[in-house]
Every structure is written in structure tokens, then in C-alpha cells.
Amino acid sequence: MTAFPKQFLWGAASAAYQVEGAHDADGKGPSIWDVYAHLPGTTHEGTNGDLAADHYHRFKEDVALMAEQGLTSYRFSIAWTRLLPQGRGAVNPAGVAFYHALIDELLRHGIKPMITLYHWDLPQALQDLGGWESRETVDAFADYAELCYREFGAKAELWATFNETVVFIGMGYITGAHPPGVRDPARALQACHHVFLAHARAVQRFRELKCEGRVRADAVIGFVNVLQPHAPASDRPEDIAARELADGCFTHWFYDPVLRGEYPAALLHWAQEALGAPLFAPGDAELLKANICDFIGVNYYKRELVAANPDVDNTRINTSGEKGSGREFGFRGLFKFVRNPSGEYTDWDWEIYPKGLTEGILQLKARYGNLPVYITENGLGAKDPIIDGEVVDDARIDYLARHLKAAAEAIAAGADVRGYYPWSFTDLLSWLNGYQKQYGFVYIDRDHHLARQRKKSFFWYQEVIRSHGSL
């Protein structure tokens, strides 16, 4: 018997910069990632998304593989600079045509598109004007969103505004490992506030265009967040307090504004006192309050153990895939993430903890009510073994099977989980880890003209979908 509701969507996910390639084709303008990934020392071994999986030119082949696997939905993002090379102003018809062609191809195969409007590739032209620190970017995003609704709103039912604000703001403005490479928490909070405003403005326009009949009547719009449950490293009161703070900073700060229309009050007060940010303008609070979104997308990879932190003020990411090579994260005086001595870890030192998916979804249900949830990413990054020419990714199958079971447990406990989108459909670029960190059901042979090859997990997921998850 299956644990999954009849309408449950079986998907897979990707993002424009990581999969499309064709970085300057047919009038596309540069995004911050097109520029940043070419700066020395920014990514693993200088990799970039110039070519990626060349999905831009090979999308028909990719959609055919999705159909063969049995996907009923596909999550992808639109590259803002394909539609608007300068971020605003003149529209690039070739970019618009590409997404029409992709969406039409998906629909022809009975695959529902889930469109993410922003998966980190801000137009460089807008960055040059201040990026997310400027309210002009909020206006530009609302206009870009409206363009997308007018073009694709009659075709697509599932929309998400932003992907993982905690990551692109946290890494863009606090650790400095993503563009624009800033390390300033006050600037981070202001940029983040503008993202929430941009989200609210985009939700507002979505609903207006729905009323005008430009967007399908059954269409919904959500926000995609990292789901990262936090557990105290011990039962010492200082670790428990550190866990509360980390959960407030990483979870409530990013979910409350879009699901409650306001910031967590105590944290907001603390941030404004300590850092003087975020600053509100008249109307901001009302805008957030009036535009709570329809669903939440959750990207689940790992949980974190949290401890009190008198010493560490550092972020070190393992980008090599050599297990145990060192991953460190902490804000001195606040909290730090520590390794679970009995935990199971990936080669990039991410804890594998399937139960966290159940726990995280149920924590959201307890705080925000029983809202619709889509698991918009979940997957194992690995250097997949090739045996006799076949990609035998048993570890991925094991990871996904255990997480799917955890999703079923959340459903059994009453959560309204409506779809599962493993990351990723094909292998693609991992932002800081290059092409060696593979996630896909489909292997991309970078030595042989990006030839597509079905992995063992491709057939496993095909069977999951065929049986509607009753394996």
C-alpha cells in the first residue's frame, strides 16, 4: 500500500545556472554567477556554469528522459538575464521563447512545471546598482515576476519566488563565499529584508494577474527554504539555548516573514539593537502581512547539532569531497555547529539523517499549521562509482529510499506533503564543489560530449514512481 496521496507529484529539481550552460547565447545577459565563477579562487578547481549540462540546447533529450522515468513534475528556475539581459528594460525574445519551448515540451509529456523565479543568478547589471541592498532590485524583481506570469501563467500551475534565501544571503553577505562576496551581517539583514519584500510584491502581482485571468485559476505560489532541523549537542542548558538561537536565526527568520507575514519579534528586536538592521520603510510591514504565500517548498539535506560557542568565529566548507577534511561553522558568542560523533556523513561532511525530514516537516506543522508542503530538494552529493561502464549509485538509492520513507512518516503523522523533487535530474554544477559532486539520476559524461547516461538510481526511481511509492 502506498503512503502517498493520489495527487502526489513525483518530481526532480534543477536550477538554471547549474544546468543550462549557454551562458551568453541568444542575447542572454551576465548574472552575478557568470561573473563570480570566473574570478580566481571562487569555486572548486575554477569550475563554472558556462557549459554546465548544456540543457539549454539539449532540453528535448532531457525531457524525453524525464518522461521515460515517469516524472509527473519538474522543478527548474528561470534565468532572469535570459529574459531581461540587464535585469529590467528590454526583453530578450529568444529567452522567452526558450522557456515557452521547455514548458511546452514538459506539458506535452504530462509533466507539470514547477517554476522557481530566483535561484541565485541576479543580473550583474542590478548588482552594479547595489543588488539586494537596493530597493530598486525589489522593483525590478516584481516587474520580472510579472513578465514571467504574463508569459507562462496560463501554462504553469506551480510557482516559487525564491530558493533558499538563507544560503544566498548568508553566503553572499556573511561568509562571503557566494557573490557578491561581502562579510557584513548588517548588510546581510538589509539585503534579506529586501528579498522578503520582493517576494511579497511578487505574490501580490501573482494574485492580481490571477484575478485578471492572466494566471491560471488553479495556480499557486510559494517560497523555497532550507529545512535544517537543529538539535542540541548535549543536554547542557547552554547548548539547548544555543540550539534555540540557531533555530531562530536559520529557520524562524526565513519562514515567519513568508508564512506569518512578520519577523520573529524577539530576534528582530535583537538584530535591530545589535546591528541596526533591517531598516523598515513605511508600508513594509503591511506588505509582508498581506502576502502570505500558498505553500512552502523545503530543501532537506541534513540536520545540524548545535553547541554553545565561546571560541569559533569561522566558516570552513569542505569543497574537496574528502571526508573529514574539515567543516567548521560558528558565530563567536552565539552558537556553532559540531560533528555528531556517532553520525553518518557524506564525503562533504553533511550528516545523513533521514528522520530529520520527518521531524522538520512536523516542526513546521506545529508552528505554521497544516500548510501544503513540497519537498523541493533532497539528494546525495557523491563521486559516483562507475563499474563496467555503468553508474552504480547504490548510496544514492539508499539515501533517497530512506528519505522517502521519512516523508511518508510525516504524511502518516498528518502533514500535507504534496510532492517530492530529488536534487537533481541530471548531474549538474555544484556551486562551490564543481562537477565532481554528483546528484543526478542521469550521468553527464563530460569527456564525451556531455552524453547522457541513466544511472542505477534512474531505474530505481522509475519503479518508485510506477508503484506510487509503495516499494
**Given the rule CB under 6 A, which residues bind ligand BGP?**
15, 18, 163-164, 167, 299, 377, 381, 423, 430-431, 433, 437
CA atoms within 13 A on the CB side of 163: 25
Phi, psi values for residue 24, rounded to 5°: -130, 20
Q: Which is nearer to ligand BGP, 105 or 377 (CB)?
A: 377
Residues forming a β-bridge with 82: none
Q: What is the strand order of the sheet 417-420 is part of? A: 9-10, 417-420, 373-377, 295-300, 220-227, 158-163, 112-118, 73-77
Nearer to ligand BGP (CB atom), residue 4 or residue 348: 348
Query: Which residue is catalytic, options 105, 304, 377, 409?
Result: 377
State the Cα torsion 234-235-238-240 to the nearest 10°.
Answer: 90
| Shortest reach from residue 323's CB to ligand BGP, in Å | 14
- What is the grid cell recorded at 387? 563499474
For 196, phi then psi, to 5°, come to -60, -40
Residue number, 201 or 437, with CB nearest to ligand BGP: 437
DSSP secondary structure code for residue 13 in this structure: B
Q: How far is CA 229 from CA 62, 163, 184, 220, 445, in A?
A: 33, 18, 25, 26, 35
Burial of 462 (0-12, 13-18, 19+ CB in 10 A): middle
Instruction: State which H helix or E strand residue 75 sits in.
Output: strand 73-77
Closest to ligand BGP by CB, 33 vs 149, is 33
Among 146, 164, 304, 409, the one annotated catalytic: 164
Q: With respect to ligand BGP, which residue has the nearer C-beta, 226 or 307?
A: 226
Q: Is 61 noted as a catalytic residue in this protein?
A: no
Cβ at position 145, least distance to ligand BGP in Å = 19
Sign of CA dihedral 30, 144, 227, 197: positive
Closest approach of Cβ 34 to ligand BGP, in Å?
A: 16
Query: Closest separation between CB of residue 204 and ligand BGP, Å?
Result: 25
| Least CB distance to ligand BGP at residue 287 (A) | 26
> 105: helix, coil or strand?
helix
Our CB check for ligand BGP shows the closer of 407 and 411 to be: 407
Nearest approach in angstroms of CB 207 to ligand BGP is 26
d(CA 214, CA 206): 9
Q: Which of 344, 340, 311, 314 is nearest to 238 (CA)?
A: 311
> Min. distance of Cβ 282 from ligand BGP in angstroms?
33
8-state DSSP, 430: B
Residue 163 or 315: the one with the smaller Cβ distance to ligand BGP is: 163
Q: Is 286 noted as a catalytic residue in this protein?
A: no
- Comparing every residue's Cβ against ligand BGP, the nearest one is 430
Which residues are catalytic, by number?
A: 164, 377
